[in-house]
Amino acid sequence: MDLTLKVWRQASPSATGAMDTIDVRDISPDMSFLEMLDIVNDRLAVEGKEPIAFEHDCREGICGSCGMMINGQAHGPQRGTATCQLHMRKFADGDTIVVEPWRAAAFPVVKDLVVNRSALDAIVAAGGYISAPTGSAQEANGILVPKEAADLAMDAAACIQCGACVAACPNSAAQLFTSAKVMHLNTLPQGQPERWTRVERMVEEMEQWFGSCTNHGECFEACPKEISLDFIAYMNRDYRKAKVKNRGLAGQSA
C-alpha cells in the first residue's frame, strides 16, 4: 500500500504546531496502525529527521495509551478497538490519512501526538479506590457478590482510560470515563462504605477539568471498549443521592 500521511507535529507544549505531509510507500495491509508509524519513524530516522512522537505500551487494547484522532475519528474508523488494534487493511491504497492528537483543553499537547492526560488521573485520585484498613486481609470469599453486580462492575471496569470519549465529545466532557470509574466500585459490596463520598468527590473533580454532558452520545461511539451510556445515568443518580446523604452526615458530625 502507498499512503499519504498528514500528521500533527508540535515540538513542545509551547511550540506552534502544524500538519506535516509524509509520503509512505510499501505498507503491508496486515500491519497495525502503530506498526505503520514504527516503519515511518524508522525511515525518518534514516533520513536524519525527527521521528513522530506517539504513545504506546501494551499494543493489545488494554493500556489506553495509544489514543489519537485518525481522519477525525477517535482511534480510527473501526468501532470497539483502540488505535493499536486498528489494521491498515481498513484503509485503501492511495488514501490520505490525517493523524492528530486528542483535541481537548484538559489534554494539552506534550509533543506531536502525545497529550497530557493527568486530568483523568486526578479524577481517579479523588475517589476511585476502596480504602483498606490495616490488619489481616479479609477472606476473599467472605463477601458475597451478586452476579448482576459483578457483571455490571466488570462492564464498567473495562474502561482503559484512553480519553477517546473526551476527544470525541463536542463539549470535551468526561462523564463516560468518570461514570465507569465510579460505578465500577459503587456496584460492589466492597465499595459501599465510601459510595457517597466517592461519587461526590469524583464528579466535582471532573467538573474542574472538563465540559458538561449534553447527551450527544459521541463518547459511546468512540469508546474502544463500548462502555454503556447507562453508566452516566447511574452516576448522576448516585450523585444526586450523595448530595443529600453527605449533607445529612455533615449535620450529624456537627
Domains of the chain: 3-111 (3.10.20.30), 117-132+140-253 (1.10.1060.10)
Question: pTM for the full model?
Answer: 0.89
Note the pLDDT of residue 254.
44
* Contact predicate 189/144, CB 8 Å: yes
Residues whose CB falls within 8 Å of the CB of residue 132, separated by 6 or more in sequence, listed in order = none
Calculate the alpha carbon distances from 236 to 27, 136, 155, 187, 226 in Å. Answer: 46, 35, 18, 14, 19
Note the pLDDT of residue 140.
64
Among the residues of the chain, which ranges form H helices? 33-46, 118-125, 147-157, 164-168, 175-186, 195-209, 218-222, 230-253
Buried-state track 210-248, b at ≥16 Cβ within 10 A, e below 16 = bbebeeeebbbebbbbebbeebbebbeebbeebeeeeee
Tens digit of pLDDT at every position of the chain (254 positions): 999 999 999 999 999 999 999 999 999 999 999 999 999 999 999 999 999 999 999 999 999 999 999 999 999 999 999 999 999 999 999 999 999 999 999 999 999 999 999 999 999 999 998 887 766 766 767 778 899 999 999 999 999 999 999 999 999 999 999 999 999 999 998 889 899 999 999 999 999 999 999 999 999 999 999 999 999 999 999 999 999 987 766 555 54
CA distance 82 to 62: 8
| Residues recorded for the chain | 254
Note the pLDDT of residue 190.
86
